[in-house]
Structure 1
Amino acid sequence: KEEEIAIGFIDEARPQNTANTVRVWSFERAQSIKNTTKFNTNTIGFYAIKGNSASKFLEDSKAPSIANFLNDIKTSNDTYRAIVAIIDNFSSHKSRLVKQRAKELDIYFVYLPPYSPNLNPIEFIWKSIKRVLSVSFVPNLAEMKSIITESFCRFSECKSYAGYWIEKFILNNKHYKNLCE
């Protein structure tokens, strides 16, 4: 396994307890119970299509926090020779500190074109997590973090979020296909 390369997607999200992504039909007036206290949490994830996924709650999305998360990705994938991370063009992702830490950890970035979240399958995981939060009564930040962590672990096990990406960019490219075998 030491000769293998892990491949995944990195992205941040800021889920909140007040997001409403749920619509329902009701013939009678629906009664809803809502927590009016608002809170959110800065979250980052690595969705692995080969290797092990990882997630973490960050203080902020600045370069030192992102660089620190790269250590978590490497720890989760320490048996892999290298890690290829597909990532967007957020300014902290391109900082000197993040690039240096990635180099030290044998993490290689592939940057997505600007304004193309549709090419990053982890976006669908964040969307699914926000959906779970919107139908949950979340009394406090600790409970919210627990729901996010459990949901990320569950959803990141599903490779179907990256199905289109794998088919288009991996299976149709002999070189990349060899990386995933």
Structure 2
Amino acid sequence: MKKVKRILNKEDSDNPYKVKKEREKRLLSNLNNPVIRNLLSFEIPIDLVLDNATIHSSELSMAVFKILNINPIFLPIRSPDLNPIEDLWGMIKDRIYKTYYTSLDELITIFEKAFEEFVVRESLYENWIKDMV
């Protein structure tokens, strides 16, 4: 009964929620270290396009974005056509579905080759930018 009370009170050190919160706290503490903050002050601002996944707009994510000088740009809900990475994943999935493989290592190799082949195509990004303008 004591263990149940500790878990309910989030006092148990094995409690996943408590472990997660402790990790978040340590991450923010490390990023707020004066030495790291000084190094990050020289970084140029970055615009990062994100979908509306909950984790992208969490308090922790927003705090990390601010520290790292990242400007999050959130896409409208249910608009995968505006996210160029969706096109890349579609092309990779198509390649994987059309290829015969017998092991996980083969699947990983196929994925890596397809990713390297498709990701170097600047046209994915360029076409997305043209469509947005």
Normalised by the length of structure 1, the TM-score is 0.45
Which one has more relative contact order, counting CA pairs under 8 Å at least 6 apart? Answer: 1
Structure 1 match to 2:115? 152
Task: Write out per-residue CA displacement over residues 122-146 of structure 1, whole angstroms, 9 at most, x where no aligned residue.
Answer: 1110000001101212222233223
Identity, % of aligned positions: 31
Matched, 1:100 2:60: no
Q: In the comparison of the two structures, how many residue pairs are matched?
A: 95
SS at match of 1:125: helix
- 1:71-150 matches, within 5 Å, as 81-150=44-113
Change (3 A) 1:107 1:140: farther
Structure 2: 5+ residue stretches without partners: 1-22, 28-41
Backbone CA RMSD of aligned residues? 2.6
More helix by share: 2
Structure 1: 5+ residue stretches without partners: 1-63, 69-78, 173-181
More strand by share: 1
> How far apart, CA to CA, are the structure 2 residues paired with 1:106 and 1:149?
30
Normalised by the length of structure 2, the TM-score is 0.60
Greater radius of gyration (CA): 2
Change (3 A) 1:90 1:136: same
